Amino acid sequence: MKLRFGIISKLLVWFFIPVIIFYVTIILLYMDVQKIVDISEGIITKNTKISLISKKMIENLICMEENDKKYHLLKKDDYFNYFVLAQKEFEGNFVEILELERSGMEIPREWRQLYKSYQDFSTTFENLRENESSGSLWIHEAVTNEWIQIISELRAKNEHDIALATMALNSRSQESARNVLVGLMLSSVVGLIVILFLAYSMIRPLRELLRGIRSVSQDRISKTVNIRSKDEFGELAGAFNDMTLRLREEECMRSDFISMLSHEIRTPLTSIRESVNMIVEEVMGTINNRQRKFLEIASIEIGRICNLLNHLMQVSRLESQTIEIMALPLDISSFITGCIYQLQPLADTKKISVEAQIAPDIPGMTGDLEHLQRVIINLLNNAIKFSDPGSRVVLRVVPNKNRTMLDFSVSDNGPGIPKEEQSLIFNKYYRARGVRDNMDGVGLGLNISKNIVEFHKGTIWVKSTVGHGSTFGFTLPAS
């Protein structure tokens, strides 16, 4: 069983790529923010607290020493009370620092050593009263200074830790901002790439399908499209290719049938035509005027059928590319004059003026005189047929700017062709809606002309506006 990824599956897969990048960025940002919070919490709950407490402890030691001296000199109980109050506050600060360690925070071991030293030298309130006669409430000044020195060093070390934590906090903040920026840029770039890729993966098969559809609707050439994707576009392309192959087979069958039918009908039709002509010429005996009239009508109709069969056989030869092009140098002026001369009686019947406008010093060209003459005569015949009596038809031949191509055009003042039909009139058997019920024909003339021009490496075109006439033309390489 083949794994098939549909359009929705592809959209979901490619959609989740930038989404995953975005959420990874969010997760990394959350981790960085959590780390920043931990660092900030450590600074606030430990380092800042130690800094404040150590400052108070130094003040307590100084206060205790001062009150000790004052009490020693003045013997006032107030100084003794101040001393006891400062001592209790000093001990309370010690307890707060040691409580930090009990709560899971790491503190320098010097604090524990200092506390042990303090316990060894400290005395209770009763001992202080007993030693009051000795004149000293507190330890020697040198010990106090040593403790102040130790606390100051621990406080300086704590300030250094605060500085390091602040630097780490700043570094982590910058790294977090950088990660967010990189993540957003990466998700944006990947999102843009995904959009472009999806657009290309959808537009490319649509263009291929459009090219194939146009080849069927405009050029009548059933071309398969090459779409290898395994999604709905691939299925659509497969269905389109099946349709084009079926159309191609049916077109071949229709062309073969028309070719065979034309060939088979042409022989007996020729015999019938010759028989009618022999009767009209009274080879078989005399005929009356009424008989002659109907025989002449029959001969004209047989001629029309023969012309139709000739057109069908020519279309079949053009489609099978069995037509032979005898490319010979052409005299443009004589070529155009000869084409106009053949249709002059038809133009005179409708009192239509046919003018030839040939650019001076026009370059020469090579081509098959008979086939190109058929193209010009076909365009002139249509222009005369659809023009109002007394109007004008202009046949122009001009070179392009580089004098490498020749533009042939036939302009009339007829009813014009709607824009939506202009791309269809060169298709085989197509006839415009406005002339289907009013004009004879089977819609082969323009298709034959198109094939002949393309056999000469040229292009055929039309410009028309409803109510303002039409201009049919073709472009051929100059020799």
- Residue 439 parent element (H or E): none
Q: What is the pLDDT of residue 473?
A: 92
pLDDT at 71 over 60: yes
CA atoms within 13 A on the CB side of 67: 20
For residue 222, pLDDT beyond 80: no
Query: Taking residues 426-451, what's their average pLDDT?
Result: 69
Average pLDDT over residues 154-178: 84
Q: Which residue has the tokens 């982590």?
A: 172
Give percent of the chain above pLDDT 90.
8
DSSP structure string for 121-135: H---HHHHHHGGGGT
- 233/133: higher pLDDT: 233
Give the position of tokens 């009813």: 415
Q: Are 366 and 327 in contact (CB under 8 A)?
A: yes
Tell me how far apart the alpha carbons of residues 363 and 417 are, in angstroms, rounded to a whole number: 32
The average pLDDT across 220-242 equals: 71
| Closest CA relative to residue 54, chosen from 148, 127, 143, 151 | 151
Give 453-459's long-range contacts (Cβ < 8 A, gap of 24+): 453/375, 455/318, 455/323, 455/325, 455/371, 456/325, 456/327, 456/367, 456/368, 456/371, 456/372
Q: Comparing C-alpha atoms, which of 444, 449, 448, 451 is closest to residue 472?
A: 449
Whether the per-residue pLDDT at 447 is higher than 90: the answer is no
Q: What is the pLDDT of residue 24?
A: 84
Query: Is the model's pLDDT at 304 over the cut of 80?
Result: no
How far is residue 205 from each of residues 209, 226, 306, 341, measured CA to CA in Å?
6, 8, 46, 52
**CB contact burial 148-174 (16+ within 10 A = b; e otherwise):** bebbeebbeebeebbeebeeebeebee
**Closest to 43 (Cα-Cα) out of 128, 168, 223, 222:** 168
Residue 2 has pLDDT above 60, yes or no: no
Domains of the chain: 7-194 (1.20.58), 234-319 (1.10.287.130), 328-477 (3.30.565.10)
Q: According to the model, what pLDDT value does residue 259 have?
A: 66
Over residues 314-357, the pLDDT tens digits come to 666 666 555 667 788 888 888 899 899 888 888 888 899 999 99
* Res 133 pLDDT > 70: no
What are the C-alpha distances in Å from 433 to residues 219, 250, 410, 424, 443?
20, 25, 22, 11, 12
- The Cα 157–Cα 144 span in angstroms is 20
List C-alpha distances in Å: 153 to 6, 115, 471. 71, 15, 104
Average pLDDT over residues 162-191: 82
Query: Do the Cβ atoms of 38 and 46 come closer than 8 Å?
Result: no
What is the model's pLDDT at position 395?
93
Answer whether residue 471 shows pLDDT above 90: yes
pLDDT at 474: 93
pLDDT tens per residue across span 81-126: 888 898 889 888 888 888 887 877 888 888 888 888 887 776 544 4
Q: Are 86 and 60 in contact (CB under 8 A)?
A: yes
**Distance from CA of residue 136 to its chain's centroid?**
93
The set of residues, in sequence order, having a beta carbon less than 8 Å from that of 479 and lying 6+ positions away, is 329, 363, 364, 365, 366
What is the Cα–Cα distance from 32 to 174, expressed in whole angstroms?
A: 10
CB-CB neighbours of 262 under 10 Å: 19
Average pLDDT, the chain: 79
pLDDT of 261 strictly over 50: yes
Residues 401, 173: Cα–Cα separation, whole Å: 69
User: Per-residue DSSP letters for 353-419?
Assistant: EEEEEE-TT---EEE-HHHHHHHHHHHHHHHHHHSPTT-EEEEEEEE-TTSSEEEEEEE--S----G
